[in-house]
Amino acid sequence: MRAFQEMARRLQVAFRAQLGAWTRHRAVVEPPINWTAPSLRVLLRRLGITVTLVTIVLPPVGYASLDMRELRKRATEYASLGARQVEVQLIKHRGENWLNEVSTNVLYGMRKADGAVVASWLTDKSGAALMFNGEKAVWPEVRGIATIKVDGFDGYFHIAVSTREVCLEVLWVSVFFLLLGVAAHRCFTRWPIAALDAASRVLEENQQALQQQKAELELHNMRFDAALNNMAQGLAMFDSGQGLIICNKLYAAMYGLTPEQVKPGTTVRQIFDYRLANGHYHIKDTDSFVGAWTDSFGARSSRIQELADGRIINVSRRQTPDGGRLVTHEDITERQRLNAQVERQNELLRQQEEKLRVQNLQLDAALGNMAQGLAMFDKELRIVIANDRYAQIYGFTPEQMAPGTTLHALFDHSIAKGDVVGRTADEGVRSLQQRVTGHKPAQYVTRLRNERTISVSIQPMADGGYVTTHEDVTDARRAEDQIAHMAMHDALTDLPNRLLLRTRLDKACGKATGGWLCSCSTSIGSRRSTTPSATPSAMRC
């Protein structure tokens, strides 16, 4: 029994050492076990440790128990056999030294029969050793005892059996089941937990993906709600059964509907009943009005509806792929007012354009029928407008006097044709600028190469430009010259008359006296000459 206890103690020490090593290993590579957490991981670990402990402990302990029981049984049998042999020997041999002979033969025979027997001895009834045969014990022993009863002797026969073979077998069995327990730990703990961890990681990744998708969906929903509630139109979506799916806040506010009245599932007819109850329509036949909207539910249409409060709503309906309907409601009251105002302004603009067209026609007619040539220049001396008479006077083509043509270019054309002789285009432009110095009107007469006389009038404008009029006064000048000739010559003989003579004498006297006054009076017809007295500074002639 003591041998079994010693073996159990050694196994317990070895198991604790191995268990300590496993515990330190798990503390490094695995998280600590929470034995109170009712999780599958904890259950797997508990199961794995239980199976490992059972595999490591129970088989060696059971094997050791069976071997020890068998060894005790053998010791008892050997002791009984030895006691019977001693009794037989005592019955046969009764001599003076019978005890030594019998016990020696029996004891030697018992050890020789089984090498596991390490010692045997005899004791009397009181327990005093009478004979001992054996060696010093190295391994734990199992003892057996049997009673010896013959005539003249009462005692006991003792056997000590070594546990060496049992301990070695148990040790090998323990090593085997220790390895088997490690394998069981792998099979029932490490591998299932690794598989569970892999599945947990996959599940966690899926969970994270779901969380990310949920976050993205929430973000999309938030953006959708923001876009929906910040639309300029009221929007409502209905399913194929005419039940409301979703609407934005503007749709509800447009018709004064509460959130309870526009909750999902509310039918189109119910919404129209709410809108009619709020007094948004002035109608008598409500059924026909609602039916006109609901009967053609899936049709695509657009309608402008004027509400009772004067608002004008543009309602557009579109059919969805699932047979539902998407409706937008836009308040176009201000737009309609602006459109009406724009229409009025357009009408005024059309009237003004018509007046301007008539005025342009009148202006063109006036410019085309003017006796004078007219040319308008901007402050850069570029043509703004010129009439046909201006082109006729100077012989310009329409291309040469197109709007934007400079005065310098006009002078170049005139010089090229020979109408302007003796000066350049730059000199001509400077001459005109000098005439209007101080931004004052100017008028002068110019004579062209073809003996035509042109009277030019320049009128400055407020924006820095000029309006010039050009009149061909050649005939008028010729008529004036003819009248002057007729005044100075005789009508019959075309000889100079007294007026011409007097004029020439006045000029001659003025030149001779160096500017002194001279007065002569001649009367050819009366042959009488009258010369008034001159002042002291005058000279008589």
Residue 498 has pLDDT above 60, yes or no: yes
Residue 4 has pLDDT above 50, yes or no: no
Residue 522 has pLDDT above 60, yes or no: no
Tens digits of residue pLDDT in 175-205: 888 888 888 777 777 777 778 788 888 888 8
Q: Tell me the mean pLDDT in the region 14-26.
A: 51
Task: Identify the helix (H) or strand (E) that includes residue 77.
Answer: helix 40-92
pLDDT at residue 383, as a whole number: 92
Q: Tell me the mean pLDDT in the region 400-424.
A: 84
Tell me the C-alpha distance between 243 and 329, whole Å: 17
**Nearest to 317, CA basis, from 291, 287, 288, 293:** 293
Least trusted range by pLDDT, from 21-30, 40-49, 101-110, 438-447: 21-30
Residue 536 has pLDDT above 70, yes or no: no
**Nearest to 410, CA basis, from 423, 395, 421, 431:** 395
Both tokens of residue 336?
Answer: 């309609």
- Indicate the pLDDT class of residue 357, thresholds 50, 70 and 90: confident
Return the higher-pLDDT residue of 92 and 307: 307
**CATH number for the domain running over 370-479:** 3.30.450.20
Percent of the chain exceeding pLDDT 70 equals 80
Burial class (CB in 10 A: 0-12, 13-18, 19+), 36: exposed
pLDDT at residue 72, as a whole number: 87
Average model confidence (pLDDT) across the chain: 77
DSSP secondary structure letter of residue 406 = B
Burial class (CB in 10 A: 0-12, 13-18, 19+), 298: middle
Three-state secondary structure of 498-534: HHHHHHHHHHHHHHHCCCCCCCCEEECCCCEEECCCC
The pair phi, psi for residue 125, each rounded to 5°, is -65, -30
pLDDT at residue 531, as a whole number: 40
268 contacts 242 by C-beta, under 8 angstroms: yes
Least trusted range by pLDDT, from 314-318, 352-356, 421-425: 421-425
Return the higher-pLDDT residue of 213 and 48: 213
- Indicate the pLDDT class of residue 1, thresholds 50, 70 and 90: very low
Q: Tell me the mean pLDDT in the region 483-495.
A: 72
Return the higher-pLDDT residue of 109 and 388: 388
- Answer whether 232-331 and 370-479 agree in fold: yes
Q: Which residues contact 272 (CB under 8 A, 6 or more apart)?
A: 289, 290, 293, 294
Tens digits of residue pLDDT in 78-115: 888 878 877 777 777 655 556 666 655 665 555 555 56
**CATH number for the domain running over 2-168:** 3.30.450.20
408 contacts 425 by C-beta, under 8 angstroms: yes
Return the higher-pLDDT residue of 271 and 134: 271
| Amino acid (one-letter) located at 197 | D
Burial class (CB in 10 A: 0-12, 13-18, 19+), 4: buried
Return the residue matching tokens 């034995």.
Answer: 35
Tell me the C-alpha distance between 49 and 15, whole Å: 13
Tell me the C-alpha distance between 418 and 411, whole Å: 10
Tens digits of residue pLDDT in 39-85: 777 777 787 788 888 888 888 888 888 888 888 888 888 888 878 87
Return the higher-pLDDT residue of 352 and 440: 352
233 contacts 328 by C-beta, under 8 angstroms: yes
Residue 251 has pLDDT above 70, yes or no: yes
118 contacts 134 by C-beta, under 8 angstroms: yes
Tens digits of residue pLDDT in 502-517: 777 877 776 655 544 4
Q: Strand, coil or helix: what is 440?
A: coil
Q: Tell me the mean pLDDT in the region 124-144.
A: 80
pLDDT at residue 525, as a whole number: 41
Residue 223 has pLDDT above 60, yes or no: yes
CA distances from 431 to 16, 177, 416, 434, 444 (A): 128, 131, 19, 5, 11
Q: What is the pTM of this model?
A: 0.37
Tell me the C-alpha distance between 287 and 283, whole Å: 10
Return the residue matching tokens 């539910």.
Answer: 297
Taking the CA of residue 380 as centre, how many other CA atoms within 13 Å lie in the half-sphere pointing to its CB? Answer: 8
**Nearest to 463, CA basis, from 387, 377, 405:** 377
**Nearest to 134, CA basis, from 147, 116, 156:** 116
Tell me the C-alpha distance between 205 and 197, whole Å: 12
The two counts, helices (H) then strands (E), for the chain are 14, 16
Domain ranges of the chain: 2-168, 232-331, 337-369, 370-479, 497-541
165 contacts 118 by C-beta, under 8 angstroms: no
pLDDT at residue 523, as a whole number: 42
**How is domain 232-331 classified at the CATH fold level?**
Beta-Lactamase (3.30.450)
Tell me the C-alpha distance between 385 and 399, whole Å: 13
Return the higher-pLDDT residue of 367 and 400: 400
